[in-house]
Every structure is written in structure tokens, then in C-alpha cells.
Amino acid sequence: MSAEILCVGSELLLGNITNGNARWIAEQLAALGVPHHRQQVVGDNRERLMGAVREAAGRCRLLITTGGLGPTPDDLTTEAIAAAFATPLAERPEVWADIQAKLAARGRPVTPSLRRQALLPVGAELLPNATGSAPGMIWSPKPGFTILTFPGVPSEMRAMWQATAVPWLQGSGLAAGVFGSRMLRFWGVSESSLAEQVADLLESANPTVAPYAGAGEVKLRLTARAASIAGAEALLEPVEAEIRARAGMACYGRDDDSLASVVLEQLRRRGQSLAVAESCTGGGVGAALAAVPGASDVFRGGVIAYANTVKHQLLAVPAGILQTWGAVSDPVAQAMAEGVRRATGADWAIAVTGIAGPGGGSADKPVGLVHIAIAGPDGCGSEGLRFGASRSRSWIQALSVGEALNRLRLQLLAI
């Protein structure tokens, strides 16, 4: 019952464009509950296209193609598919009439090459294209194998998918059941140690649980298959609860949550406000907070204290502390946090000062050393973290932003 996607276009093989169509169709198939095991990309080449179609016919029940339906000589998809099953092409008069009508409505000339688009294999059903000129087809060249073809233009492909492919898939019985999915988000745990904590669940067949790692963040995707959305949710619920129980506070949220959105929500519930004082992140913590819609009822702003003079002048970090301890130190991080809390009147403050590299490190204070302070109504604490000198500047900055937000999150949870 499985499906494959075949995207046709030399521009994909040259790396000129990203294959957004494959991702979009993959998402749709998952949502419809159609199992999907393989994607392929081939160029505008008749022989390779025929080969790919024949191989797919031996493996899957449903082949979805994008691209190569247009009027130019390198648009070969329909022709190659017909040839792969030794079936002749025939012109569909209604398609040719439709193409001419659309061009007339746009005041465009009708060129002879456009007529190629009205050719479909004998026996194929039309997959209408309401907006563009190239239609697709629904064709079963052999029992138990159906091909759906779409143009490569994303807007046309998507409209045709919704209007015709979805009802066809549901009617054909290929879209059996529905998939429901949740993404759980973690900070402060490595992918490997999280995977060990939930090793038995990674083996589960329904729901499936799969780990992903990003820049400091780890995610688990839970996907359940059921007859209805409610059934899928009922399968997901206990697995999510079990994972949350095992992972504890490392699980910070779900789906569209970010560390920033979670922290903002924690403070919003308390009616408290937040400010930031940033050195090595240069505004990255503030930008992460400002990325969340509605941040303004909690986030006041703060100071980008990149130069030491700014730490001193705008945050009142004493010159003596800067001299004695150096800018990357707990006393300076704490003075920055307290300084910005005082200057903005915020209830809470996050301060970050560190060495993002690649220059500026020493044996004592290597690249990747970052001090993070959190100041709140009950005082101020800080810690020095070592992210490792082998990390890139952007990676150290991203980890610093995440760690700073996560520390405030954990502190608020503990109160």
C-alpha cells in the first residue's frame, strides 16, 4: 500500500532549487495515513525517467510525480511514463480547448508547442489544473499500481492535490486511517542519553517515537496511526506522559514552543517582566524573545553590553570588578544582570558574557567559556559553562542563548 514520490527536473540535480515539493507531498501523505517509503529525483532525461518509473512500479502501489509537464522540449514526464508501459499518447480535445481558453483570457498567444500538453496515455484519467495550463493525470498502467502526475510549480501542484488527489486517495482506500503527530522538545540532555532513557519506546510500532537533534536542542517526534484523529490522540497521550515522566524538566515544550516562548509564558502567568544584558550574544537572547508574538507584555528590553565601557556606563558594572575578574566572570555576569534589572525595573534579568571565538581565548579562559547570570526578586546567581573551543562562533552563541533561557525556565519551575 506504500507510495513513492518522483520529482523530475535538472534544476534539482544542479542544486539550483530546494525540493520543497517533496517535503510538502510527504507531509500530506503522512496526514492522510498513506505510508511513504522512498523519494527520488531524476533530471529531464527520457531513459532515466523511464527507468525510475519502471523500478517504482515494481516496488510500490502509488507513484506521485512532480515536474516535466510543461510545453518545452525538456518536459518529458508524460511521454516517458507512457513509453515505460509501451502505451501510445492521444490528444484530449477538452484539454487543448481549455489551454486555448486560458491563454485567450490572459491575452497570451497560443503557440503550437502548448498542444503537447494535451497528450495523455490512452486510458489515463485527467487530473485537472485549474490555474495553470499543464494538467496532470491519474493512470493505472497495470493492476495495483497508479501514477498521479503534477506540474512542478508549487502553487499549481498544491491546488491540484487538494482539489482532486485528496478525494481520489480517500475514495481509493489508499488513505487508510489518519496519522497524528507531536514533537516534544528538550534542552539540557544529549540525543544519545535521551535515546537511552526512552530506548524501549523507540522500538514501539504505534505510536512511533523518533529522536532528532538541532543546535543544542533535542526533539522526539511521536506519530500514531488510527482510524480517527481522536483515536490517534488517545494513542499519543500516554506515550507523551511516559516520556515527560522519564525526562523530567528536560522536556520544555511541544510542537511550536520555543525556550523563549515558554519562559515568556511562565512570566506572563506570574505577571512579571524580563530584561536582558548581553555581551557575547550581542542581542541574540533579546532577538529570541522578540521573535515570539506578544512578547511585549513581558519582555522590556535591555542592554547589549558588548564593550566594557557599555557594561560600566549603562549597567553600572564597577570598573574594579571588570579589572579584577575580567569581563568573562561570575562577578561581572551578576553585576550585568543586577544592573539591567535596576535600569529597566524588570522583575527578572538574564545576563550573558563569554568568549565566542575564534579569537580572544586563553589557557585560563578558553573560547567557549560563557558565564550566565539570572537575577530575580530573591537575588542573583550565576555559573560558568564551557561549550568547547572546537565549536564555531555561531554555535557557541546559539548554545549561550538557549542555556540562558533554559536556566531562567528551570529557576521559575523550582519556585
Q: Which of residues 57-86 bind a copy of itself (CB under 8 A)?
A: 70-74
Q: Are 240 and 222 in contact (CB under 8 A)?
A: yes
Cβ-based nearer residue to a copy of itself, 297 or 323: 297
Q: Are 207 and 30 in contact (CB under 8 A)?
A: no
Nearest residue to 181 via CA among 147, 209, 151: 209
Q: Does 23 bind a copy of itself (CB under 8 A)?
A: yes
Cβ-based nearer residue to a copy of itself, 113 or 324: 113
Q: Does 120 bind a copy of itself (CB under 8 A)?
A: no
What span, in angstroms and rounded, lies between the C-alpha atoms of 223 and 30?
A: 9
* β 36-42/3-8 pair status: parallel
Q: Does 413 bind a copy of itself (CB under 8 A)?
A: no
* Residue of the chain from 22, 370, 373, 374 that contacts a copy of itself (CB under 8 A): 22
Hey, which residues between 210 and 249 contact a copy of itself (CB under 8 A)? 210-213, 221, 223
* Residue of the chain from 203, 255, 256, 364 that contacts a copy of itself (CB under 8 A): 203
Q: Does 204 bind a copy of itself (CB under 8 A)?
A: no
Concatenated DSSP letters of 125-154: EEE--SSSS--EEEEEEETTEEEEEE-S-H
What span, in angstroms and rounded, lies between the C-alpha atoms of 279 and 370?
A: 10
Cβ-based nearer residue to a copy of itself, 139 or 387: 387
- Nearest distance in Å: CB 310, a copy of itself: 4
* Residue of the chain from 285, 328, 333, 408 that contacts a copy of itself (CB under 8 A): 285
Q: How far separated are the first and last CA of the chain, in Å rounded?
A: 52
Hey, which residues between 249 and 278 contact a copy of itself (CB under 8 A)? 275-276, 278
Q: Which residues pair with 221 in a beta bridge?
A: 183, 210
Hey, which residues between 148 and 187 contact a copy of itself (CB under 8 A)? 153, 155, 181, 183
Cβ-based nearer residue to a copy of itself, 39 or 87: 39
66 in helix, strand or coil? strand
Q: Does 42 bind a copy of itself (CB under 8 A)?
A: yes
- 90-98, 238-246, 263-271, 357-365 -> range binding a copy of itself (CB under 8 A): 357-365
What CA–CA distances, in Å, run from 96 to 79, 93, 113, 395? Answer: 17, 5, 11, 55
* Residue of the chain from 86, 105, 245, 414 that contacts a copy of itself (CB under 8 A): 105
* Residue of the chain from 163, 314, 316, 321 that contacts a copy of itself (CB under 8 A): 314
Q: Which three cell numbers stand for residue 314?
A: 549603562
Q: Pattern 388-407, binding to a copy of itself, x per CB under 8 A?
A: xxxxxxxx-x----------
* Residue of the chain from 65, 78, 146, 344 that contacts a copy of itself (CB under 8 A): 344
> At 182, which amino acid appears?
R
200: Cβ contacts below 8 Å, ≥ 6 apart = none
Q: Does 141 bind a copy of itself (CB under 8 A)?
A: no
- Nearest distance in Å: CB 392, a copy of itself: 7
Q: Does 10 bind a copy of itself (CB under 8 A)?
A: yes
374 in helix, strand or coil? strand
Nearest residue to 78 via CA among 38, 118, 132, 112: 118
Q: Does 33 bind a copy of itself (CB under 8 A)?
A: no
Q: Are 39 and 49 in contact (CB under 8 A)?
A: no
Cβ-based nearer residue to a copy of itself, 143 or 256: 256
- Nearest distance in Å: CB 70, a copy of itself: 7
* Residue of the chain from 91, 97, 167, 190 that contacts a copy of itself (CB under 8 A): 190
Concatenated DSSP letters of 12-38: HHTTSS--HHHHHHHHHHHHHT--EEE
